Structure 1
Amino acid sequence: MIVYQLLNIIIFIVGLIAVLYLLFRLFAWHQGDARFVIEARRRQPFALKSLTAGTAVFETEVPFKNIGKQLGTIMDFYPRTLLPYEQYDKVIVHSQLANKAAERNDGYWESVIINPGESGRIRVTIELVSKEGTIREDLKTFPDMPIDLVYQVVSRSEWYIHKARITLKASEVKRAMEQA
């Protein structure tokens, strides 16, 4: 009889712990998390910022927003250009990314905490350096170049890495070079 009562108490305690855990998980789910969106489709067109005989520098701004319910931290943010030399090998590509709210010129992304509903802008700079020394000639056949914007987020859940993609279009390069 005592064993039966002890077993009922143990089952009751385990059941109570399970119910409390489920209530906690429901509460945490309701609280939400940070959720960042890089609005790549709303980016500004790439603009030619400087041009020399051997170098062309293009820039654009891309908006981003925290659409989640909690604040989050963007720990790291960097561009990754995708231009294999098998596709196009006339230029060397250098890329840099900066937070418009905290401009730096050293290519370092300083961690930033973004509140729910808050937005910002990033500046993406692409420098194309001619291998032959004649950037105008080299860019006549420049193809579309995808650029991955890779970022690391820390919030209530475990950290994660995500990316968005923008493209430096051949038409943008051609139009900028004709106007320069």
Structure 2
Amino acid sequence: MNCLMIIVGAVAAVVLLLAVLVKLYFCYTGLENIVAKVDSRSAYTVDELTETSMTVSTVVEFVNLGKQCAVVMDCFVRPQLPYEQYDGVEMRGHAELLSAPREDDYFEAYIIQRKGYGKDLDRAAIKAQIKLIARHGMTIKEAISKMPDFNFLIIWLEAGRMEAHYRQARIEVPAAEIAKLVGTELVEA
């Protein structure tokens, strides 16, 4: 019995030592760290405009500031304008790689190399689109003229040395900027 306890203790000590060594190795070699550069995003542009809807987009650069390669496995846009705040428009979001546009709402995974790989940081340019659809029989110009400022989240699934995990960045959308794009002005509610 005493010999068995010594063996179990030794095995537990070896497992603990291995876990500590692996943790130290990961600390030394680093992890991935994908960051969305929302402060340097492109200006909003109109991709499509009809009498009852419009699609606006902006391009956001993603860089890997970590020490290991990373994969953006999925990315999507989540508009934040609930009907309780304003029900004049319905919003839908879409994200796609600028280098690989798709119409099927599928995001093509993209590898972003580690920091310092090559001359510059490797980048992924992701186009974030928001489709605004007028409701209650309004035209898109009427609906936007009454719309408040809103936000959207750009959410991505990141994988690398760490377990796959979701991260997000919040982007503000001033209603005045969208109204200017469609050629109307905001009115007081």
- The separation in 2 between residues aligned to 1:88 and 1:8, in whole angstroms, is 69
Shift of 1:153: 1.3
**Deviations, residues 19-60 of structure 1 (Å, cap 9, x unaligned):** 554333212211111111011111112112232211112111
Shift of 1:164: 0.7
Question: Quick check: which one's helix share is greater?
Answer: 1
Gaps of 5+ in 1: none
TM-score, normalising length from structure 2?
0.82
**Deviations, residues 85-112 of structure 1 (Å, cap 9, x unaligned):** 1111111112211011222122110122
What SS does the aligned partner of 1:156 have? coil
Greater Rg by CA: 1
Equivalent of residue 159 in structure 1, options 132, 152, 164: 164
- The separation in 2 between residues aligned to 1:128 and 1:16, in whole angstroms, is 59
Mark the CA change 1:177 to 1:25 in structure 2 (over 3 Å): closer, same or farther: same
Q: Is the counterpart of residue 69 in structure 1 residue 73 in structure 2?
A: no
Q: How many residues align?
A: 177
> How much identity, in percent, do the aligned residues show?
29
- The separation in 2 between residues aligned to 1:105 and 1:26, in whole angstroms, is 44
Paired position in structure 1 for 2:123: 119
- The separation in 2 between residues aligned to 1:28 and 1:62, in whole angstroms, is 29
Q: Is the counterpart of residue 172 in structure 1 residue 177 in structure 2?
A: yes
**Deviations, residues 62-120 of structure 1 (Å, cap 9, x unaligned):** 11111111111111111111111111111111221101122212211012222113111
Instruction: Give 2:62's aligned amino acid.
Output: F
Gaps of 5+ in 2: 116-121, 185-189
- The separation in 1 between residues aligned to 2:128 and 2:62, in whole angstroms, is 13
Mark the CA change 1:79 to 1:10 in structure 2 (over 3 Å): closer, same or farther: closer
Instruction: Give 2:96's aligned amino acid.
Output: A
Q: Is the counterpart of residue 145 in structure 1 residue 143 in structure 2?
A: no
CA RMSD of aligned residues (A): 2.5
Instruction: Give 1:90's aligned amino acid.
Output: G
- The separation in 2 between residues aligned to 1:23 and 1:125, in whole angstroms, is 45
TM-score, normalising length from structure 1?
0.85
Mark the CA change 1:52 to 1:7 in structure 2 (over 3 Å): closer, same or farther: closer
Instruction: Give 2:168's aligned amino acid.
Output: K
- The separation in 2 between residues aligned to 1:55 and 1:89, in whole angstroms, is 14
Mark the CA change 1:103 to 1:15 in structure 2 (over 3 Å): closer, same or farther: same
